[in-house]
Copies of this chain bind each other. A is one copy, B any other.
Amino acid sequence: MTLELAVYLIPVTLGDTPIEQVLPSHNREVIIGIKHFIVENIRSARRFLKKVEQSINIDELTIFELNQHTDRNNIDRYLDPVRQGHPVGIISEAGCPAIADPGADVVAIAQRKNIKVVPLVGPSSIIMSVMGSGFNGQSFAFHGYLPIDDDKKTARIKLLESRMYAEDQTQLFIETPYRNGKMMQTLLATLRPQTRICLAANITCADEKIVSRTVSEWRKRIPQNAADDVIAREIPRVPAIFLIYK
């Protein structure tokens, strides 16, 4: 396959899912044609590339790492291969690059420098959770992480709930897996009884769980004084997205 002189945005699997379940075969063709990558995590990117194609010789590749430790003033040169005639691939640690990771900084530079950008199809827990929730998909907002501070978090949840009712807009956010149970308890203590919460956990994985219930219904399963193991059974400590809607 002849590739374009472009920055390709290459999604990876979410968790230990087989490649064929979540990535089009086209992506493999693109990956095989690329020798220069910008990756969030070198080890996981190598593992992914080997999973896509056993015969890829990792040592032949040029791999730049881009994460929170990378000096932002240095990343323009990551696009030098494109300027020299070679396509570049961006690989995130999970899911779609440039969605909730530093890849967006490179894409922004590419756009400013008129370098073509080509996103490939792959698993997005954001879109798949909206699809599976039954909530409004004509209008929705993803907020990343909510504030860590309890008061600020509660205030933010109330703001998102009122916006959801006022604008008929599904609201999405994420939490660190080990805090999922606490997040659900905070939601149940903060939101109106009729508001619906969707928990979308381990999307595309064998134990995927996408469940929408009202606050009242969730409360029956997770009482205010629920034991940790009850909470952990209902709200697993795995990558998850929370959605709220009326």
A interface residues with partner B (beta carbon < 8 Å) = 9, 18, 20-26, 96-101, 104-112, 117-119, 121-124, 126-144, 169, 198, 203-204, 208, 210-213
Give the Cβ gap from A1 to chain B, nearest Cβ, in Å.
11
Please state the number of chain copies in the assembly. 2
Q: Is the interface of A mostly helix, strand, loop or mixed?
A: mixed
Given known A-B contacts A21-B26, A139-B142, A141-B140, A210 and B119 have beta carbons under 8 A apart:
yes
16 residue pairs of the A-B complex, CB under 8 angstroms, read A20-B25, A20-B26, A21-B24, A24-B24, A99-B130, A99-B137, A107-B131, A107-B133, A117-B134, A117-B210, A119-B127, A124-B127, A138-B144, A139-B141, A139-B144, A140-B141
Contact A134 B108 (CB under 8 A): yes
Q: Which residues of B contact A136 (CB under 8 A)?
A: 104
What's the nearest-Cβ distance from chain B to residue A123, in Å? 5
Assembled-state Cα–Cα distance A234/B134 (Å): 37
Task: Give, as a whole number of angstroms, the nearest-CB distance from A140 to chain B.
Answer: 6
Shortest 10 CB-CB contacts between residues of A and residues of B: A108-B134, A141-B141, A107-B134, A99-B137, A111-B212, A119-B131, A138-B144, A21-B26, A119-B128, A111-B134
